[in-house]
Amino acid sequence: MSNRQELKSLNLSIKPCGPVKATVTLPGSKYIANRLLPLCALASTTSHIKNVVNNDDIQTAAAGLSQLGYQIQTDGNALKINPRQVTAMKPIDIYTAHSGTFSRFVAAIAALEKVPVNIECSAKMATRPMIELFDALRSLSVEIDTPNGCLPAKIIGPVKGNECRLDASRSSQYLSALLIIAPLLDDGLRINLTGSVVSRAYVDMTIQLMKKMSVNVEEDEQGFYVPPGQKYQGIDFMISPDPVSSSYFMGAAAISGGEILLKNFDKNSLQGEAGFYQVLEKMGCKITFQGDDLLVEGPERLQAISIDMGGMPDAVQTLAVVACFAQGITTITNIEHLAFKESNRIEDTANELRKTGIKVESGKDYLKIEGGIPHGANIETHDDHRMAMSMALLGIKTPDICILDSQVVAKSFPKYWDYLADIGISTFPQTKSLG
């Protein structure tokens, strides 16, 4: 085992550095891969997916779908997904680990089965909400046995009916889950929404991928409708680099006053976070497109901004850390749903930044961060991969920043610490408490 690999299981301290200057080619988007796996599994023909990031979430999804009888073959960073040949005849057990996305998607897919499906998960995932999705499935005659509206759960289908009501105000994944299974229903599916949809960009991503696979989704004032008589057709698909992962490297350029060239950056990505470079541009960064690549150059002094981040929620923590080094108070709004992620990404982010001496005001749906000079601290990751990756950026200019349980990055970006090292941000194992 290499020294780099050994570091991943330890608490890591970040060594401050000067301006970074590097070219980075990032792995494919886990958000697109998370959707393509179930979509392709439900297709009537074979699919080939390339540039699939090899992280815990994708491995969990592939294993879970395999338990349901779907055929997934792995070859490096490519997947071949064949239609299922055999219908399940006995109860199925699935483990979703920490994956909120797969937990929601597979709960809906399990409702297609005629046999009971038992879904288990990690202790952390067992605290995350599922009740709105469960209620929608119950209205479609699905029996769900769950102690508290969360996982674990026993799901007994199949779905009967073609219309349900859904509250997607806490997670857009509920809506995506129902849309994904809709073409498999004989009479299609109408989803009537009872409120606003949070993180709408992720629903749009699901719908656009469904369209690429020959399924159309209609939208009206009441909600969404998937007409009957449609089938997913397998596709060949190259996944573009992950915009959320790119935000950390853009942030590194912004904080250090350096420059990062992101190769093959898809500014037309299905993900809202692909627009994060525009946020940094407002803070003073220079943005240049060079063909298919994006160059981000940090300024001498970052400027605070006020911004609605509802469309790019998974870049909020990156922005929060960048804001620590900006002149003025940065206000981040429309983020209420972040309280229900892997951690409470509002309060936990605020508390970790306060440990470094940064003044932070937090509320139900906002963060206000006053730029300053952070000091060293032990940063708890709260079992949240994005907490670890974003907070590590504090260490670019701040001595004695230690990321506890750094291995949590394996959920989405297992080689993150290697990538930081490659752009000149070094880490080393920390065994002493900073107090």
- Per cent of the chain over pLDDT 90 is 93
Query: What is the model's pLDDT at position 10?
Result: 81
Q: 33-42, 81-90, 116-125, 140-149 — which is least confidently predicted?
A: 81-90
Same domain, 233 and 249: no
Q: How confident is the model at residue 8 (pLDDT cuts 50, 70, 90)?
A: very low
Q: How confident is the model at residue 411 (pLDDT cuts 50, 70, 90)?
A: very high
Domain finish residue from 204, 238, 272: 238
Q: Which domain holds residue 217?
A: 30-238
Query: Would you say how long the chain is, in residues?
Result: 435
Q: Is 314 a catalytic residue?
A: yes
Among 13, 58, 54, residue whose Cα is nearest residue 34: 58
Query: What is the model's pLDDT at position 433?
Result: 52
Decide if 217 is inside a domain.
yes
Decide if 98 is inside a domain.
yes
Same domain, 9 and 100: no
Cα separation, 407 vs 10, whole angstroms = 7
Decide if 434 is inside a domain.
no
The binding site for 3-phosphoshikimate consists of 30, 35, 171-173, 199, 314, 341
Query: What is the model's pLDDT at position 86?
Result: 84
Decide if 435 is inside a domain.
no
**120 and 152 Cβ atoms separated by less than 8 Å:** yes
Number of domains in the chain: 2
Among 63, 103, 96, 66, residue whose Cα is nearest residue 82: 66
Same domain, 217 and 292: no
Among 51, 3, 48, 49, residue whose Cα is nearest residue 25: 51
| pLDDT tens digits, 314-343 | 999 999 999 999 999 999 999 999 998 989
The binding site for phosphoenolpyruvate consists of 30, 100, 128, 173, 345, 386, 411
Q: How confident is the model at residue 5 (pLDDT cuts 50, 70, 90)?
A: very low
Q: Which of 56, 167, 314, 384 is catalytic?
A: 314
Same domain, 188 and 66: yes
Q: Spell out the residues 6+ positions from residue 1 whose beta carbon is closer than 8 angstroms to its own.
A: none
pTM of the model: 0.91
Average pLDDT over residues 104-108: 99
pLDDT at 239 over 60: yes
Same domain, 122 and 163: yes
**204 and 270 Cβ atoms separated by less than 8 Å:** yes
CATH of the domain at 141: 3.65.10.10
Same domain, 106 and 219: yes
Average pLDDT over residues 406-433: 91
pLDDT at 60 over 50: yes
